[in-house]
């Protein structure tokens, strides 16, 4: 059983935290990840910095820019994954990337190095289901889960095609648009129910989730996990000159957000 399977097998809601490798720079990036681990993230999603992150809103886009300006390369990302794996041996780690990075490196080399570093899954944001055979053999060869991405606008036919090759868990996008903090989330129970009928894989909801009440509403909608990105990346941006304050703010935010996972949290959905 993989680390991702073991995590979701516990049958309690999972909190997934997101960070961009190399943000705010290559060395301090590990401190960000370690602070998130210390605060209790159940799974860590690490983005490979990319020059054109079309799925991301301004907060995460700026993080990509900072990481690239710091000189972060895919080799640095794998080094970060190795450090996280040493720091938290049982923690599942998923790489969030765009296909050009995988293509330039070569799918077999990319998945081989990801596995050697200790990654458990890869989410390729912009790879259409029709072209997924480009990475399928390498994913299977190295035991890396291919995380499926499904949006509210994904048709039932495309959902079935996307889910056919998926493993690990399914990333459900809560809204139409890019990543970023929102005041309110749209109703997502319908999407959760529809995908639940089509797969046995766990379902985690992201995009726009930034408050404890959002976390609570995602859990109440029947999701198995919740993904928070921009709200955490913003903390890094706001504490660039105060590393200790950055780590403390991350820990405080994650603990507050995780409070929304508890059925008796008192958070209004």
Hey, which residues are catalytic here?
45, 56
Cα–Cα dist 249/223, whole Å: 27
Cα–Cα dist 95/172, whole Å: 16
DSSP 8-state symbol, 49: P
Identify the bridge partners of residue 45 per DSSP, sorted by sequence position: 18, 94
Dihedral of CA atoms 179, 183, 186, 187 in degrees, nearest 10, equals: 130
Cα–Cα dist 168/124, whole Å: 14
Cα–Cα dist 155/4, whole Å: 27
Compute and round to an integer the Cα radius of gyration of the chain.
Answer: 17
Residue 83 in tokens: 């450090």
245 φ, ψ (degrees, to nearest 5): -65, -35
Q: Tokens 């765009």 sit at which residue? A: 98
State in Å, rounded, how far the first CA of the chain is from the last one: 34
């Amino acid at each position: 059983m993989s680390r991702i399977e073991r995590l979701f097998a516990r049958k309690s809601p999972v909190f997934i935290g997101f960070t961009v490798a190399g943000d705010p720079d290559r060395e301090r990036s590990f401190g960000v990840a370690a602070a998130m681990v210390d605060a209790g993230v159940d799974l860590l999603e690490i983005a490979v910095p990319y020059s054109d992150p079309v799925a991301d809103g301004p907060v995460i886009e700026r993080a990509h820019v900072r990481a690239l300006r710091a000189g972060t390369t895919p080799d640095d990302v794998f080094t970060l994954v190795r450090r996280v794996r040493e720091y938290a041996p049982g923690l599942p780690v998923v790489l969030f990337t765009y296909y050009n990075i995988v293509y330039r490196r070569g799918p077999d080399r990319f998945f081989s190095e990801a596995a050697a570093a200790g990654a458990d899954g890869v989410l390729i944001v912009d790879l259409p289901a029709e072209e997924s055979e480009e990475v399928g053999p390498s994913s299977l060869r190295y035991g890396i889960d291919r995380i499926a991405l499904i949006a509210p606008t994904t048709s039932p036919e495309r959902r079935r095609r996307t889910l056919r090759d998926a493993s690990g868990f399914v990333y459900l996008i809560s809204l139409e648009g890019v990543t970023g903090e929102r005041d309110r989330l749209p109703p997502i129970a319908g999407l959760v129910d529809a995908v639940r009928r089509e797969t046995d894989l766990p379902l985690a909801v992201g995009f726009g989730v930034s408050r404890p009440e959002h976390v609570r509403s995602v859990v109440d909608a029947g999701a198995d996990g919740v993904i928070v990105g921009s709200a955490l990346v913003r903390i890094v941006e706001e504490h660039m000159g105060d590393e200790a304050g950055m780590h403390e703010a991350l820990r405080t935010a994650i603990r507050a957000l995780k409070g929304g996972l508890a059925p008796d949290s008192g958070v209004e959905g």
